Amino acid sequence: MALIIEDPELDQKIHTVAHALGKSVEETIWMALDRIDLPTAVSEQDAIGREIDWQEVRRILARVDAMPVLDHRTADEIIGYNEHGHFD
């Protein structure tokens, strides 16, 4: 099965990293996947029924909360809703 990467920026980044490492694109992707902290024995079906690790969820939320706010507009302002809930 072929992997099609439709995002040109991502495709370029993968090729750049592969070239820098002296590896093929496939080897580079495998290296990245191996770094993900998932048990290798967990299949897709097993993962569906897995219990949620709430400590890990809290850790991720703390990291997100620590990120700087880059846009101080409200969600409605960003989307473009007016005071009547419509687009201007």
- pLDDT score for 45: 53
Q: With cut-offs at 50, 70 and 90, classify the pLDDT of residue 87.
A: confident
**pTM of the entire predicted model:** 0.41
Model confidence at 82, pLDDT cuts 50, 70, 90, reads confident
% of the chain with per-residue pLDDT over 90: 32
Which has more confidence, 6 or 51? 6
Predicted confidence (pLDDT) per residue in 43-79, tens digit: 555 556 677 888 999 999 999 999 998 999 888 888 8
Taking the C-alpha atoms of 3, 6, 36 and 62 in order, what is their torsion angle to the nearest 10 degrees?
A: -160
Separation between Cα atoms, residue 23 and residue 33, nearest integer Å: 15
- On the question of pLDDT at 19 being above 60, the answer is yes
CB 39 within 8 Å of CB 47: no
Tell me how many degrees the CA angle 26-32-36 measures, rounded to the nearest 5: 140
Residue-range domain boundaries for the chain: 8-41
SS3 26: helix
